[in-house]
Amino acid sequence: MTDLAADHQALHTRACDLFGVKYPIVQTGMGYVSNSTLTAATAAAGGLGIIAGGMLAYEELAEAIAEVQAQTDNPFGVNLRADQADIDKRIDLLIRSGVKVASFALAPKQALIGRLKDAGLVVVPSIGARRHAEKVASWGVDAVIVQGGEGGGHTGAVPTSLLLPQVVDAVDIPVIAAGGYFDGRGLVSALSYGAAGIAMGTRFMMTSDSPVAKQVKDVYLSKSVNDTVVTLEIDGVPQRVLRAGTIDQLESTTGPGRMIRAGRNALAFQKLSGTPWRDMIREGLAMKKSHELGWSQVVMAANAPMLYRSALVDGRVDVGVMATGQVVGLIEDVPSCSELINRIVAEANSVLARLSA
């Protein structure tokens, strides 16, 4: 185990104090992956675990929060979607439950940020451009997660090595670097740019505490850094995913076939989640407006929940879609969260000692 007394002072950052954690390492809120078990394991190991609340019904989210709190007293976070119809109710739940951090894939409105901060929560949106960081910083967020183009899921085109210093120079709040991180060397490199820590998705998904099935993890282990693709065909917004499963079929399907498949998936997701049609339509309209999507892209967005669920929950790697960062090609094992975090910290200490010498 890593001994706090032996850790280099550079590893205790503003993020550690802000989140109340031992190490500046964040496990991102990945849909269908970041459940209570993974979040609690990360928190117990000294990092910041984040529950993926966007794909959970309200009752499921309340249960997940209670399960994490039953497993650890350490702080953790919940990732929310600001455009959800019941967002106010979910925020009340976080406040009432004493959750430490509220994270967002899309920045919430300024009034929502103020409400969370007034209740004592730390607000951390994810951003992919300097101008977005400047905007949310002016709204009063406490920190930002900056994801470069190497990252998995929804991503931009600018690599972390260029985006991170841009954002660090533009804002005076803690910046958490994401996209391409998996070890202690990466943590030190992020700190050298001025970041206050790193956030990892794919690396935490590839742990023994992750709920993803072994056969899915085996597919990830078999891939190289060249086995990912950025596609618009899932929900109309660029996403980096594994070149596996149905992605080639998705990219080759045209007009009518694409719309029919999207409609079927929307129906399946509505039945599975119990989400009222009016809420799905409202969310679709909000997505169309915020991302300037066409109607065909809005319909395509209905694919996303079912495609991810097929692979990550049902283990159907042949028909599902699997988000991943390019870092997948550098991951060679499936440790526990405790083993992973201690390994990263030990390696970071070693690198810092070597540089100091």
Query: How many other CB atoms are found less than 10 A from the CB of residue 318?
Result: 11
User: Is residue 328 scored above 90 in pLDDT?
Assistant: yes
Q: What is the DSSP string of 162-208?
A: HHHHHHHHH-SS-EEEESS--SHHHHHHHHHHT-SEEEESHHHHTST
Q: How confident is the model at residue 218 (pLDDT cuts 50, 70, 90)?
A: very high
pLDDT at 117: 96
In order of their start, the domains of the chain are 4-212+332-356 (3.20.20.70), 224-323 (no CATH)
Q: How confident is the model at residue 234 (pLDDT cuts 50, 70, 90)?
A: confident
User: Is residue 266 scored above 90 in pLDDT?
Assistant: no
Task: Enumerate residues 6+ apart whose C-beta is below 8 A from 353.
Answer: 8
CB contact at 8 A, 307 and 321: yes
The mean pLDDT value for 236-259 works out to 70
The mean pLDDT value for 323-349 works out to 97
The DSSP 8-state label assigned to residue 322 in this structure reads: -
Q: What is the pLDDT of residues 293-323, one digit of tens each?
A: 555 556 656 666 767 777 787 887 776 788 8
Find the helix or strand (DSSP H, E) in which 123 lies. strand 122-127
Q: Across the beta sheet with 239-242, what order do the strands follow?
A: 153-154, 239-242, 228-231
Q: Which of 50-54, 196-200, 273-277 has the lowest mean pLDDT?
A: 273-277
- Cα separation, 31 vs 89, in Å, equals 20
Between 193 and 3, the higher pLDDT residue: 193
CB contact at 8 A, 13 and 143: no
The DSSP 8-state label assigned to residue 108 in this structure reads: P
The mean pLDDT value for 350-354 works out to 96
**Mean of pLDDT over the chain:** 87
The mean pLDDT value for 268-297 works out to 57
Q: How confident is the model at residue 55 (pLDDT cuts 50, 70, 90)?
A: confident
Termini Cα distance of the chain: 24
Helices (H), the chain: 14-19, 36-44, 58-71, 87-97, 110-118, 130-138, 160-170, 184-193, 202-205, 214-221, 247-252, 255-273, 277-291, 295-300, 303-312, 337-356
DSSP bridge partners of 323: 241
CB contact at 8 A, 122 and 101: yes
Q: Which region, left, alpha or beta, applies to residue 98 given φ > 0 means left and ψ of -120 to 50 means alpha?
A: left
Q: What is the pLDDT of residues 81-132, one digit of tens each?
A: 998 889 999 999 999 999 999 999 888 899 999 999 999 999 999 999 999 9
Q: How confident is the model at residue 259 (pLDDT cuts 50, 70, 90)?
A: low
Distances (CA, A) of 233 to 63, 106, 146, 243, 294: 33, 20, 24, 13, 13
- 104: three-class secondary structure by DSSP: strand
DSSP bridge partners of 228: 242
CB contact at 8 A, 182 and 327: yes
pLDDT at 4: 47
The mean pLDDT value for 70-87 works out to 94
pLDDT at 262: 58
The mean pLDDT value for 206-221 works out to 95
Long-range Cβ pairs for the range 281-290 (8 Å, 24+): 282/85, 283/83, 283/84, 283/85, 286/83, 287/83, 287/235, 290/83, 290/106
pLDDT at 273: 47
pLDDT at 315: 81
Q: At what angle do helices 87-97 and 58-71 cross, to 10 degrees?
A: 20
- Cα separation, 206 vs 35, in Å, equals 14
Q: Which of 165-169, 173-177, 262-266, 268-272 has the lowest mean pLDDT?
A: 268-272
User: Is residue 278 scored above 70 in pLDDT?
Assistant: no
User: Is residue 155 scored above 60 in pLDDT?
Assistant: yes
